[in-house]
Amino acid sequence: MAARGHNGADPEQNEGEARAPFLCVVTPVFDPARDSLCKLIADLQSQSFGDFQQVMVSNGPSPAIREVVLDINRSDSRFTYDELPLEPTPRPEDLLANLGRRRDHCLKKYAAARFAFLDADVKVCDEDYFRTLHRAHHEIHRDILITLTRIHDGAKESILPIFPVRQGHIDIANFTFSNGIAKKYRYPSDFDPNAGWANDYRFFSMISNEGNTAILNFVSTIRDGNNAYKRLTELFLEDAARKEAEANGIRQKSKAHFGFWKFLR
């Protein structure tokens, strides 16, 4: 286990307050993501730079996740469980909005020099990722720092971001941002059908401009690298297929699909 570091730039704080970490990693969770989350936690504990906090935030109680995090927290205080009051999420659109509220809750509640959004199914593939981020934070002085994310789609491999950056050309794991950005802006907590299946680009376009953004040219993460549950995009596709089938008078009864919804948080 990597020891927690005590170097790095912190947000301003009053004398006597607990020192904030360099990086706060925000991870929305629900119980079926437990196996993926355990892999992500192991990735973070393997980082060569240890001055970070990971906040796992649930929509209502997630007993399995809470048990895992509290057990780890006994020996490693960098890992924190948090939850908001339960909101029903019967549709993918509702889940998307709820994920936004959970992310924004963490941006406003917690303090760090920088913030990162890493979902439970993301694999952190560079053990020096946080160390490189810390060095760039001090040397480049940009609010937004972009790294590369590898995506596997069958035999095809691609890298995000793609320039010019627009909808579909950037992933939420691609960028980290300063504490000032976290406190000034709100992460989208609604569904905009014109913006597609995620709010990654909507948030990025709000916070980023040519003067405050820099790219670090290395692969830091792999999307779906620790995947053991369905992503939001898969749920959107399944829901669209179900609606199309119903519109055509075909009642599809997929136990795997409909059984999943009861676990949604």
Q: Residue 233: what pLDDT?
A: 55
In a domain, 5, yes or no: no
Number of domains comprising the chain: 1
Per residue in 13-67, pLDDT (tens digit) is: 444 457 899 999 999 999 999 999 999 999 999 999 999 999 999 999 999 999 9
Predicted confidence (pLDDT) at residue 90 exceeds the cutoff of 50 = yes
Give the Cα separation of 100 and 81 in Å (integer): 17
In a domain, 154, yes or no: yes
Read off the CATH number of the domain in which 212 is found: 3.90.550.10
Q: What is the 3-state secondary structure (H, E, C) of 80-142?
A: EEEEECCCCCCCHHHHHHHHHHHHHHHHHHCCCCEEEECCCCCEECCCCHHHHHHHHHHHHCC
Per residue in 223-260, pLDDT (tens digit) is: 987 775 555 555 445 555 666 677 677 554 443 333 33
238: containing domain: 23-261
DSSP symbol at 32: G
Per residue in 139-197, pLDDT (tens digit) is: 999 999 999 999 987 778 999 999 999 988 999 999 999 999 999 999 999 999 888 77
In a domain, 64, yes or no: yes
In a domain, 100, yes or no: yes
In a domain, 17, yes or no: no
In a domain, 238, yes or no: yes
49: its two tokens = 């730079």
93: its two tokens = 């659109």
- β-partners of residue 114 are 23, 178
In a domain, 48, yes or no: yes
In a domain, 16, yes or no: no
Tell me the pTM: 0.82
Predicted confidence (pLDDT) at residue 9 exceeds the cutoff of 50 = no
Give the Cα separation of 253 and 146 in Å (integer): 42
